[in-house]
Amino acid sequence: MSRLLFRLIVAIVFAVFARPALGQVGETTITKWQGGKTGAISITFDDGTINHFRVARPLLNERDLPGTFYIVTGALPGTQETGTFVGRSVENIIKETARDTTDAENFFERASAIRYLGYKGTYTYHMEAGGLYEQGRVQAAYDVIDEGYRKVRQGGHEKKDGSWDYPLSEYMYEVMAVEPGVELVTWEDLRSYDTDVHEFGSHTITHPYLAVMDAKNIRYELRESREAIRRHLGTAHTFSAEAPFGTKNERVMEIGHELYPALRNRMPRPYLTEIERGSDVQPGTTSTAYTLWQRGPLSDTPMTEMKRWVDVTQENDNIWLVLVFHGIEGIGWEPKSKAEMKEYLDYIDARTKDLWVATFADGTKYMQERMDARVSTERREDALTVTLTHSLGPRYDLPLTLRTYVPGAWSNIRVSQGDTQHEATLQTDEKGTYVQYQAQPNEGRIHIRNQ
């Protein structure tokens, strides 16, 4: 063999085997989902009905899965912040309705006030007008409000002490399908329910149609429910919220996003495709870094379909499946049975090697922190030093999962950040050997050393 040919072979062998590995040392990436998983699932429950906590929560706990529960704070006994109308005297508003019909100018104020006129049963006009307005039937919504005020003026509704116009149990039945007399969850109960594992977010004070309310009253419902949660459960539970009836109304979303870092209703981000609960768009066809795929199992949604959502999430790498449950075991809207919940949670639990199950708040935090993060690595002789920062502020405090390529000869690796020793696993892929670990952004340098 000539010397030249020998050199050529050595050069090729070096290029193929040695250089790629050496070239990667120090390269650090943030995995798409926590723990290097290929997809995420958030299991959320709306309306705060009792079986979320008596039936679903224990099933989640048995499998170590976190849930997100959106609660209607005004329905909890003893809540200080109750439903009210924020605005002018309702007597004046009633008088004005005798003079002019409802139009774009006065609709939101009238539809906000109509539940609080001091007469029984007027909340039904708010509900009906809200449903019509959200369907785009604006004039029909105005007409319903006119009809309601006319009836009140003509004495068609019985007067009531206090402004809250119906017994809470009757209202719960109307808006959340909770039979009168069914037990309600209490703040004391919630405080005892693993508040460090599960998320308990706001679903407003009284579950109204925010889209037909004026700004002051939208803000009151969203802000005061947040304050009740903060006082009873702590600031960690004021990160995400869900405005009722899955509204996407822009006025509501604008005020909601001023008050909460995240709304399950909508999350406009350039790197995120949102697929609504009612949409037939299939994930996996989208080109953004992430896809939020919201699915709401109803009573007759087949288990095969629900399992398929999990399979699709597992087969892709960019899907965040956000499940929206309402009733459980006979209590609440469109309930799923305990047996179905058990089977479904078992199915999800068996796939947690690939799927990260996270609260809605944690799913949001991970995605946003990763997209905003800056990561860099310095190499010193015996160590790699990684810097991880983001500019989102202190509420974005979820650790991110990092992979840093290390020299192939390193076998006993220690990863530390400040005084904290991070658990680290050594793995190999086509680019070389890397160490995978969790790191806290904005909390100082991470040191990777071979022992």
Name the segment binding Zn ion (CB under 5 A); options: 39-47, 165-173, 298-306, 352-360. Answer: 39-47
Query: Between 123-134 and 138-153, two packed helices, what is the crossing angle to 10 degrees?
Result: 170
Backbone angles phi, psi at 228, to 5 degrees: -60, -45
C-beta of 320: minimal distance to Zn ion in Å?
21
Residue number, 97 or 225, with CB nearest to Zn ion = 225
- Cβ(71)–Cβ(352) below 8 Å: no
Give the pair of three-digit tokens for residue 267: 């999350």
- Cβ(362)–Cβ(79) below 8 Å: no
Give the pair of three-digit tokens for residue 79: 């809540």
C-beta of 138: minimal distance to Zn ion in Å?
23
Which member of 33, 46, 109, 321 binds Zn ion (CB under 5 A)?
46
C-beta of 244: minimal distance to Zn ion in Å?
5
Half-sphere exposure of 324 (CA within 13 A, CB side): 21
Residue number, 39 or 244, with CB nearest to Zn ion = 244
Residue number, 47 or 329, with CB nearest to Zn ion = 47
Subset of residues 127 to 156 that bind Zn ion, contact rule: CB under 5 A: none
**CA 127 – CA 111 distance, rounded (Å):** 9
C-beta of 48: minimal distance to Zn ion in Å?
9
- Cβ(328)–Cβ(341) below 8 Å: yes
Residue number, 72 or 398, with CB nearest to Zn ion = 72
Backbone angles phi, psi at 410, to 5 degrees: -75, 130
Give the pair of three-digit tokens for residue 228: 């009740």
DSSP string covering 143-204, please?
Answer: HHHHHHHHHHHTT-S-B-SSS--S-HHHHHHHHH-PPTT-----HHHHHTS-TTTSEEEE--
Name the segment binding Zn ion (CB under 5 A); options: 44-52, 79-87, 156-164, 297-305. Answer: 44-52
**CA 400 – CA 365 distance, rounded (Å):** 10
C-beta of 85: minimal distance to Zn ion in Å?
21
Q: Which amino acid is at 262?
A: A
Residue number, 172 or 386, with CB nearest to Zn ion = 172
Subset of residues 237 to 256 that bind Zn ion, contact rule: CB under 5 A: 244
Name the segment binding Zn ion (CB under 5 A); options: 182-190, 236-244, 269-277, 306-314. Answer: 236-244
C-beta of 310: minimal distance to Zn ion in Å?
24
Name the segment binding Zn ion (CB under 5 A); options: 41-49, 189-197, 248-256, 261-269. Answer: 41-49
Q: Which residue is nearest to Zn ion (CB)?
A: 46
Residue number, 209 or 434, with CB nearest to Zn ion = 209
Residue number, 298 or 303, with CB nearest to Zn ion = 298
Task: Map tokens 């007597």 to a residue.
Answer: 91
Helices (H), 247-379: 250-259, 303-315, 338-349, 360-372
C-beta of 363: minimal distance to Zn ion in Å?
20
Residue number, 298 or 392, with CB nearest to Zn ion = 298
Question: Is 201 among the residues that bind Zn ion (CB under 5 A)?
Answer: no
Helices (H), 205-282: 215-233, 250-259
Residue number, 45 or 133, with CB nearest to Zn ion = 45
3-state secondary structure of 399: coil
Which member of 47, 109, 221, 362 binds Zn ion (CB under 5 A)?
47
Residues near Zn ion (CB under 5 A), total:
3
- Residue 13 neighbours by CB under 8 Å, 6+ apart: none
Give the pair of three-digit tokens for residue 281: 């768009």
C-beta of 324: minimal distance to Zn ion in Å?
9
**Where does residue 47 fall: left (phi above 0), alpha (psi -120 to 50 degrees), or beta otherwise?**
left
Residue number, 87 or 246, with CB nearest to Zn ion = 246
Subset of residues 89 to 108 that bind Zn ion, contact rule: CB under 5 A: none
C-beta of 204: minimal distance to Zn ion in Å?
9
Query: Between 303-315 and 338-349, two packed helices, what is the crossing angle to 10 degrees?
Result: 20
C-beta of 79: minimal distance to Zn ion in Å?
17
Q: Which amino acid is at 214?
A: D
C-beta of 207: minimal distance to Zn ion in Å?
6
Residue number, 66 or 327, with CB nearest to Zn ion = 327
Query: Between 90-99 and 138-153, two packed helices, what is the crossing angle to 10 degrees?
Result: 110
- Cβ(308)–Cβ(315) below 8 Å: no
Residues that bind Zn ion (CB under 5 A): 46-47, 244
